[in-house]
Copies of this chain bind each other. A is one copy, B any other.
Amino acid sequence: MAGVRAARPRAVGRLISLIEDGSTALPEIMAALAVDTGRAFVVGLTGPPGAGKSTTTAALVRALRARGERVGVLAVDPTSPFTGGALLGDRVRMQEHALDPEVLIRSMATRGHLGGLAVAAPQALRVFDAAGCATVVVETVGVGQSEVDVAATADATLVLMAPGMGDGVQAAKAGILEIGDIFVVNKADREGTQPLVRDLRSMVALAEHPVGAWKPPVLTTVASDGTGIEELLAAVDRFRAHQERTGGIGLRRLGRAQREVEALALAVLRRRLREQQAEVLDELGRAVRDGRLDPYAAAAALLGRLPTG
**Interface membership of A78, Cβ < 8 A:** yes
Nearest opposing residue in chain B for A261, CB measure: B298
- Distance of A143 Cα from B79 Cα, bound (Å): 8
For the complex, count residues of A whose C-beta is within 8 A of B: 88
Residue of B nearest to A299 (CB): B264
Q: Is A37 an interface residue (CB 8 A)?
A: yes
Given contacts A264-B295, A295-B122, A299-B261, contact A145 B289 (CB under 8 A): no
Task: Please indicate the chain B residues that have their CB under 8 angstroms from the CB of A260 in the complex.
Answer: 288, 295
Q: How far is the CA of A273 from the CA of B269 in the complex (A)?
A: 11
Quick one: closest B residue to A252, CB to CB? B289
| A87 interface contact, C-beta 8 A | yes
Binds B, one of A1-9, A57-65, A300-308: A300-308
In whole angstroms, what is the CA distance A308 to B276 when docked? 15
Interchain CB contact (< 8 A) of A262 among B38, B47, B83, B274: B274
A250 in the interface (beta carbon within 8 A): yes
A123 to B288, CA, bound (A): 12
Q: Are A148 and B80 in contact (CB under 8 A)?
A: yes
A265 and B81 contacting across the interface, CB-CB below 8 Å: no
Q: Is the CB of A144 within 8 A of B78?
A: yes
Q: Is A237's CB within 8 Å of the partner chain B? A: no
CB closest residue in chain B, given A280: B261
Partner among B144, B145, B304 whose Cβ is within 8 Å of the Cβ of A308? B304
**CB contact between A80 and one of B144, B261, B299 (< 8 Å): that residue:** B144
Within 8 A of B (CB), among A156-207: 167-172, 175-176, 179
12 further contact pairs, Cβ within 8 A, besides A27-B300, A87-B171, A307-B308:
A27-B297, A34-B294, A38-B291, A48-B82, A79-B145, A80-B144, A82-B148, A145-B146, A250-B289, A254-B289, A264-B295, A266-B270
The interface of chain A, by Cβ under 8 A from chain B, is: 26-27, 30-31, 33-38, 46-49, 78-85, 87-88, 111, 116, 122-123, 126, 142-148, 167-172, 175-176, 179, 250, 253-258, 260-262, 264-266, 268-270, 273-274, 281-282, 284-286, 288-300, 302-304, 306-309
